[in-house]
Structure 1
Amino acid sequence: MNNVMSNKKVIALYVAPALLLIIALIYVPIVQTGYFGLMKWNGIGEKEFIGLKNYAKLLQDSVFWESALHSFLLALFSALSLIGYLFISFILASKVKGADLLRKIYLIPMLLASVAIAQLWLKIYHPTNGILNTLLVSLGIDNPPAWLAETDLALYAIIIPIIWQYAGFYILIYYAALKNIPESLIEAAKVDGATSLQIALQIKLPLIMNVVKVTIVLAVVGSLKYFDLIYVMTGGGPNGSSEVMASYMYQKAFKSFDFGYASAVGFFLLVICLVVTYIIRRLTVANDDIN
């Protein structure tokens, strides 16, 4: 068996099917997207090569940059929400009563489709019959806001259900990482007189820091390319106030039928995600060196 697995031809034979799938499903579409960005194309007719005009137009497109700002705001709030998820995970992992039930409750949003979550929160945010405004009226607020119809509030109103949707995912990751910490380390710290706060910050948190770094990348990059719930709830409105890069790409492709420009937006979104991932990894590596 060892002789077979040390044979490079056999290894290549085992790896080839997965490698071909990755190339066909990931790398080929990426190259095609970049190529289509060089074209003037409505998605059906003949393609016209126009070089880098779509990319040059993109750099001067104020609507795109506004949608990029919205995506980065979503990424920022998603990253900050990890602090809350981490705090909840510490509580659940400390053998609190009912932790198993709470863990299952937190996972419920992950079991729902994004469209179902969007419909649920549309009912919550309804300006006249929604639970939120009904509660505000009962508290004496006569004119509660129309959350999804006001340009200053729409984006932030959508960020809340997005954070709620993925809470269970990150809490479960942190909880699993905390439960994998050897109990002997915790007991030794208690014997040495460490408090619960000291154990959490000086023992548990450093031991799961690699997991935390991975979740930061997942949260930020996932937010930059987020689309479905925003599209269902507002479609990028009102007046583009909740437009993000992915929804702007969709609008250009399937409503304006400018597939060439939409491909340029998609390829540029990929580049942004790669750059942000690289920056986050460099910052975390720098912190490792300091430690």
Structure 2
Amino acid sequence: MNKVMSNKWIIALYVLPALLLVGVMIFIPLVLTGYYGLMDWDGIGTMEFIGLENYIRGIQDGLFWNSAFHSFLLALFSTLSLILYLSVSLILASKIKGADLLRKLYLIPMLLSSVAIAQLWIKIYNPSNGMLNHVLRSIGFDNPPAWLADSSLVLYAIFIPILWQYAGFYILIYYAALKNIPESIVEAAKIDGATPVQIAYKIKLPLIMGVVKVTIVLAVVGSLKYFDLIYVMTGGGPNGASEVMASYMYKLAFANRDFGYGSAIGFLLLVITLIVTIIIRKATATKEEIQY
């Protein structure tokens, strides 16, 4: 077996299917997206090469940068929410009563599709008979807002179901990391007189910091390319108040049939995401971890 696995041709043969899959599903579409961004094309008819006009137009497009601001705001909220998810995971990992049931409850949103979650929260936010406004009226608010129709509130109203949707995912990651910490370390800290809070934030947290850094990258990158729930709930409205980069790209390419410009926006989204990922990677990694 060792003789076979030392053969470079055998290794290449094993790796080839995965490389082909990655190439067909990821790299070729990326190259084609960048190429289409150089064209004036409606997605069906003849393509006309126009060079970098679409990319220059995107850089100068105020609506694009407005949607980018909304995406970065979502990324900020998603990153801050990790503090809450980590705190919940620390509590669940401390062997409290009912922890198993709570873990299962937190995973429920992960089992639902984004469309189902969007429809659920549309009903909750309904201005006339939604549960949220019903509660507000019952405690004395005579004119509760129309959450998804108010330009100043819609973005934050949408953030809540998005953060709820992924709560179980991050809690599960943190919980698994915390359970991998040797119990002997925790017991030694208890013998030395450490309080539960000190054990959580001075012993457990540093030991899972590598996992925390990974979740920060996942939260930011996922937020920058987020699309489905926002599109179902508001379609980017009202008047672009909840538009994000991915929904703006979709509207340009498929609703407005400006496929060339939409492809350019999609490629700019890719570039922005890569830059942000590299910045986060360098900002959170130690000197020994950075290897480029």
TM-score (norm 2): 0.98
Corresponding residue for 1:50?
Answer: 50
* 1:271 counterpart letter in structure 2: V
Corresponding residue for 1:217?
Answer: 217
Corresponding residue for 2:63?
Answer: 63
Q: CA-atom RMSD, angstroms?
A: 0.9
Corresponding residue for 2:103?
Answer: 103
Report the count of equivalent residues: 289
Q: CA separation in 2, counterparts of 1:7 and 1:265?
A: 44
- Quote the offset at 1:255 in angstroms: 0.9
- Greater CA deviation, 192-201 or 152-161? 192-201
Q: CA separation in 2, counterparts of 1:266 and 1:114?
A: 21
Q: CA separation in 2, counterparts of 1:265 and 1:14?
A: 36
Corresponding residue for 2:249?
Answer: 249
Corresponding residue for 1:146?
Answer: 146
Corresponding residue for 2:168?
Answer: 168
Q: CA separation in 1, counterparts of 2:238 and 2:286?
A: 41
- Quote the offset at 1:286 in angstroms: 4.3
Query: Partner of 1:166: helix, strand, or coil?
Result: helix
- Quote the offset at 1:6 in angstroms: 1.1
2:153 equivalent to 1:137: no
Q: CA separation in 1, counterparts of 2:286 and 2:17?
A: 37
- Quote the offset at 1:288 in angstroms: 7.1
Q: CA separation in 2, counterparts of 1:15 and 1:35?
A: 28
Q: CA separation in 1, counterparts of 2:171 and 2:221?
A: 18
1:198-248 per-residue CA deviation (whole Å, 9 max, x = no partner) reads 111111001100000000000000000000000000000000000000000
Query: Partner of 1:110: helix, strand, or coil?
Result: helix
Corresponding residue for 2:273?
Answer: 273
Corresponding residue for 1:282?
Answer: 282
- Quote the offset at 1:193 in angstroms: 1.4
Change over 3 Å in CA distance of 1:288–1:201 after alignment to 2: farther
- Quote the offset at 1:42 in angstroms: 0.1
* 1:111 counterpart letter in structure 2: L
Query: Partner of 2:107: helix, strand, or coil?
Result: helix
Any gaps of 5 or more consecutive residues in structure 1? none
Q: CA separation in 1, counterparts of 2:59 and 2:17?
A: 39
Corresponding residue for 1:85?
Answer: 85
1:118-148 per-residue CA deviation (whole Å, 9 max, x = no partner) reads 0000000000100000000111110000000
Query: Partner of 2:43: helix, strand, or coil?
Result: coil
Q: CA separation in 2, counterparts of 1:103 and 1:199?
A: 21
Query: Partner of 2:68: helix, strand, or coil?
Result: helix
Q: CA separation in 1, counterparts of 2:70 and 2:164?
A: 18
TM-score (norm 1): 0.98
Change over 3 Å in CA distance of 1:161–1:215 after alignment to 2: same
Change over 3 Å in CA distance of 1:95–1:287 after alignment to 2: farther
Query: Partner of 1:156: helix, strand, or coil?
Result: helix
**Percent of pairs with identical residues:** 74
- Quote the offset at 1:285 in angstroms: 1.7
Query: Partner of 1:129: helix, strand, or coil?
Result: coil
Corresponding residue for 1:116?
Answer: 116
- Quote the offset at 1:189 in angstroms: 1.0
* 1:238 counterpart letter in structure 2: P
* 2:189 counterpart letter in structure 1: A
- Quote the offset at 1:82 in angstroms: 0.2
Query: Partner of 2:163: helix, strand, or coil?
Result: helix
Q: Could you list the runs of 4 or more consecutive aligned residues of structure 1 that deviate by over 3 angstroms after TM superposition?
A: 286-289
Corresponding residue for 1:205?
Answer: 205
Corresponding residue for 2:21?
Answer: 21
Q: CA separation in 1, counterparts of 2:219 and 2:189?
A: 32
Q: CA separation in 2, counterparts of 1:102 and 1:93?
A: 11
* 2:30 counterpart letter in structure 1: I
1:14-51 per-residue CA deviation (whole Å, 9 max, x = no partner) reads 00010111011100000000000000000000000000
